[in-house]
Structure 1
Amino acid sequence: MEVKDQTTNCYQRIYMEYAPMLLRFAGKFVSGFFAEDIVHDVFLKLWDKQVFLLPDDDLKRILYIAVRNACIDHLRRSNMEQEILDRRAIQLKLDELDYFESSDELFMRKDLLELLMKKVEELPERGQEIFRLSYLEGMKAAEIAEQLGLSVRTVENQLYRSLLYLRKHCSHLFFYLFTLI
């Protein structure tokens, strides 16, 4: 029991003697909170290896080297963590910019569609109906003809006239609308 007590007393003496100097040393490179952790970890590792039984000059050199290396490891780890956080922050900003770009595109597309639909409203009533059935509901000319009781040729002529009118009065909208899609 006496050997264990001597070992513990020796360890406590070394800790009390060197810990304040090592804390100041580590505090030059890392924050005080991390400096304490680093110094305590170094002493725990040294306890397992019983380095504290070495002469004081060797012990002091080993303690400083161990704390220095632990500070370097901590700074490298912090740097890597910061790089990861920076990359994530940049990616979030890029994602946010993409979102705003796509929402602007949607608003612009919506505005263009509204302008186009206003021009469609200028068509004769039958032309509006045929245009909507064809381009908004995706029906074929034969289906529209059957639903409205018209010939397929009449439906095709109405679509042709509607498209001619729209191209003439809003060709710039078609360019923007189809470049956004």
Structure 2
Amino acid sequence: MTDYSKLTDLELAALLNESDELAYTEIYNRYKGVLYLHAYSRLKNVEEVNDMIQELFAKLWDKRKTLVLKTNLSNYLYTAVRNRVIDFITHKKIESDYISGFQQFINQGEAATDHLLREKELSRIIEDEIQSLPSKMRQVFELSRKKNHSHREIAYELTLSEKTVKKHVNNALKILRVKLGSLIALMLILLH
């Protein structure tokens, strides 16, 4: 009976090519611990490292008949683990970047939506207050602020004096300032 623990990696690899389960078990027992430590030192995640090592040995068994070692068995296994660690880290970084970007998109969308809702509500409140102005004052104010007509154009259109137009606009702003607060009134002034 062969003592597999005394065989070299090269001999174990040759037996593995012949589907020798005891050779596979010896390779597993010989390298499982050091490969685990190697991967864990990089990932610090017990579950991921366990899965990675199990997957590595499962693939080793699946490819046993076609396995051609260009170097020795230990180099092959270390390289395989290193590549899996790199793939895992790369995948996690991509995943993290995607999640971060998606969260930022959601946050911007929420902020934009919130901003639009507030803007719409503010516009509605301002419009309601403008509609509650006395008729002639409202008409003058809308021509001034919404249609951007000059005082002269409004005076001509409504057959009023420019002084009367100016008075209507100033009175409308005073009323709106009281009702809406000076900040909103300032916004109305800036819109013109």
TM-score by length of 2: 0.63
Does the alignment pair 1:160 with 2:182?
no
- The one-letter code of the counterpart of 2:181 is S
CA contact (8 A) 1:23 1:36 kept: no
Corresponding residue of 1:118: 128
Identity %: 18
Corresponding pairs, count? 155
Picking from 30, 45, 51, the partner of 2:52 is 30
- Distance across 1 between alignment mates of 2:181 and 2:158: 29
One-letter amino acid of the counterpart of residue 114, structure 1: R
Cα distance change on mapping 1:120 and 1:64 into 2, 3 Å: same
Deviation of 1:144 (Å): 2.4
Q: Does 1:98 align with 2:108?
A: yes
More RCO (CA 8 Å, sep 6+): 1
Partner of 1:82: 92
- Stretch of structure 1 that moved more, 124-133 or 138-147: 138-147
Q: Secondary structure at the match of 2:181?
A: helix
Query: Are 1:131 and 2:153 matched, yes or no?
Result: no
Measured after TM superposition, the shift of residue 159 of structure 1 is: 0.6
In proportion to residue count, which structure has more helix? Answer: 1
Which stretches in structure 2 are left out of the alignment for 5+ residues? 1-12, 36-48
TM-superposed deviation, 1:172: 5.7
On the 8 A contact 1:23/1:35 being kept in 2, the answer is: yes
Q: Secondary structure at the match of 1:30?
A: helix
Change (3 A) 1:135 1:31: farther
Q: For residue 127 of structure 1, what is the amino acid of its counterpart?
A: M
* 1:96 shift after superposition: 0.6
Residue 71 (1) aligns with residue 97 (2) = no
Task: Quote the Cα distance in structure 2 between the aligned partners of 1:175 and 1:116.
Answer: 9
Distance (Å, rounded) in 1 between the aligned partners of 2:26 and 2:159:
98
